[in-house]
């Protein structure tokens, strides 16, 4: 008999993968976050011929960390999720953590976790575009693939697995509201693929290391999260919103610039006033296929080529780590 001595821990947070539709033929009207993580795990063995060989030697543990539609994801849940990941990964017999999550804010959670977890083990997020009781639900296959990737991935890293693709937390973005393959990593491309339980990593894929400043961030000490907003450059972009935010006490602003991070004259002037008043302003691009290429004309810092929402996470963590080092 084979000895099962390593564990993969599966944490449930809700999302469509745990959702139930009103009818089995109509996949868009549904309620997310209805089924428990135990039930989702059971569905994995029901597809295909039992579990794939790579998973046969693992034990599985599951924990319901949250049960929400990820449009409502919040800092308290993030905090709890990061702590549960950290706690499980510190067990010697835990190989990896898999997280089921809604698709809407998955990329933000994935990036957040990639910056705060300290462990030399992988975390793999997965999701679904169709609710669990839909006739062609994609959740069971995605979870199966995520477990398989978790069983073979080595070292630190937060990954996302869906529709047969492995994406890195740095690059992945939801790019389509309804398509089954709703995620894309822009010009960075996928980190790998999984077909028929076989994982193929892209050999030339390089993950970006996390900033060393964050090594000292202690989430346990965080009591209040900084207020950071994302605003966009667009036709007739004015500074009114920036001025209102500054007046209301915003601590950071991310501007999603047009093209290669361009910002209209009026909005730029407002942001420069905010910056002069001590508010951290960062720049990203509205374009979702590639990062801003920094030039001398950029008035605001660009954080590691991240999307606007991930720049917001990075800026929040930067503000927190600065607060802690004082
Ligand atoms: N609103 C859902 C969520 O993000 C969408 C999904 O999971 O596909 O939780």
| pLDDT tens-place string over residues 162-199 | 999 999 999 999 999 999 999 999 999 999 999 999 99
Q: Which of 21, 70, 107 to mutate to test the pocket of ligand 1 (most atoms within 8 A of CB)?
A: 70
Q: Give the separation between CA 112 and CA 82, rounded to whole angstroms.
A: 9
Q: Which fold has domain 226-325?
A: Rossmann fold (3.40.50)
Distance of CA 248 to the CA centre of its chain: 28
Return the number of other C-beta atoms located less than 10 Å from residue 164's C-beta.
16
Q: Give the separation between CA 123 and CA 17, rounded to whole angstroms.
A: 18
Q: Tell which atom from ligand 1 comes closest to the C-alpha of 69.
A: 9
Q: Which of 14, 19, 20 to mutate to test the pocket of ligand 1 (most atoms within 8 A of CB)?
A: 19
Active-site residue flag, 105: no
Q: Which helix (H) or strand (E) holds 6?
A: strand 6-14
In CATH, what is the architecture of 7-201? Answer: 3-Layer(aba) Sandwich (3.40)
Which tens digits make up the pLDDT trace of 78-89? 999 999 999 999
Which tens digits make up the pLDDT trace of 252-305? 999 999 999 999 999 999 999 999 999 999 999 999 999 899 998 899 999 878
Closest protein CA for atom 3 of ligand 1: 102
Closest protein CA for atom 7 of ligand 1: 102
Q: Tell which atom from ligand 1 comes closest to the C-alpha of 72.
A: 9
Using the mean position of ligand 1's atoms as its centre, give its distance from the Cα of residue 60 in Å. 24
Ligand 1, pocket residues at CB < 6 Å: 15-16, 32, 69-71, 102-104, 127, 129
Q: Tell which atom from ligand 1 comes closest to the C-alpha of 19.
A: 7
More confident residue, 43 or 88: 88
Q: Is the pTM higher than 0.85?
A: yes
Closest CA to 99 of 155, 160, 51: 160
Q: Tell which atom from ligand 1 comes closest to the C-alpha of 33.
A: 9
Report pLDDT for 273: 97
Domain range annotation of the chain: 7-201, 226-325
Report pLDDT for 297: 87
Same fold, 7-201 and 226-325: yes
Report pLDDT for 27: 64
* Token digits of residue 229: 């907003």
Return the number of other C-beta atoms located less than 10 Å from residue 187's C-beta.
10
What confidence tier does 48 reach under pLDDT thresholds 50, 70, 90? low
Using the mean position of ligand 1's atoms as its centre, give its distance from the Cα of residue 270 in Å. 35
Report pLDDT for 1: 46
Pair type for strands 122-126 and 192-195: unpaired
Q: What is the dihedral sign for C-alpha 44, 46, 51, 57?
A: positive
Using the mean position of ligand 1's atoms as its centre, give its distance from the Cα of residue 34 in Å. 12
Report pLDDT for 49: 67
Share of the chain above pLDDT 90, in %: 79
């Amino acid at each position: 008999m084979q000895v099962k001595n390593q564990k993969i821990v599966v944490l449930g947070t809700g999302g469509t993968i745990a959702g139930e539709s009103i009818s089995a033929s109509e996949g868009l009207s549904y309620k997310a976050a209805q089924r428990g993580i135990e039930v989702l795990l059971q569905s994995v063995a029901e597809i295909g011929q039992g579990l794939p060989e790579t998973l046969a030697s693992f034990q599985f543990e599951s924990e319901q960390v949250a049960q929400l539609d990820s449009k409502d994801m919040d800092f308290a849940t993030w905090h709890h999720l990061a702590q549960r990941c950290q706690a499980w990964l510190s067990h010697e017999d835990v190989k990896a953590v898999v997280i089921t999550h809604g698709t809407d804010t998955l990329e933000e959670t994935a990036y957040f976790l990639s910056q705060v977890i300290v462990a030399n083990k992988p975390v793999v997020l997965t999701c679904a575009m169709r609710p669990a009781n839909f006739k062609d639900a994609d959740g069971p296959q995605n979870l199966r693939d995520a477990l398989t990737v978790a069983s073979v991935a080595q070292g630190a890293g937060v990954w996302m697995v869906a529709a047969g693709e492995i994406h890195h937390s740095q690059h992945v973005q939801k790019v389509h509201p309804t398509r089954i393959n709703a995620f894309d990593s822009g010009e960075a491309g996928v980190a790998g693929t999984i077909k028929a339980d076989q994982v193929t990593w892209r050999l030339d894929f390089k993950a970006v290391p996390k900033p060393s400043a964050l090594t000292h961030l202690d989430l346990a000490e965080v009591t209040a999260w900084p207020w950071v907003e994302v605003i966009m450059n667009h036709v007739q972009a004015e500074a009114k919103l920036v001025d209102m935010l500054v007046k209301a006490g915003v601590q950071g602003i991310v501007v999603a610039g047009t093209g290669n991070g361009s910002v209209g004259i009026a909005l730029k002037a407002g942001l420069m006033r905010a910056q002069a008043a001590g508010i951290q302003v960062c720049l990203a691009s509205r374009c979702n296929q590639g990062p801003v290429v920094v030039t001398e004309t950029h008035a605001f810092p660009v954080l590691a080529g991240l999307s606007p929402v991930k720049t917001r996470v990075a800026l929040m963590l930067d503000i927190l780590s600065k607060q802690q080092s004082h």
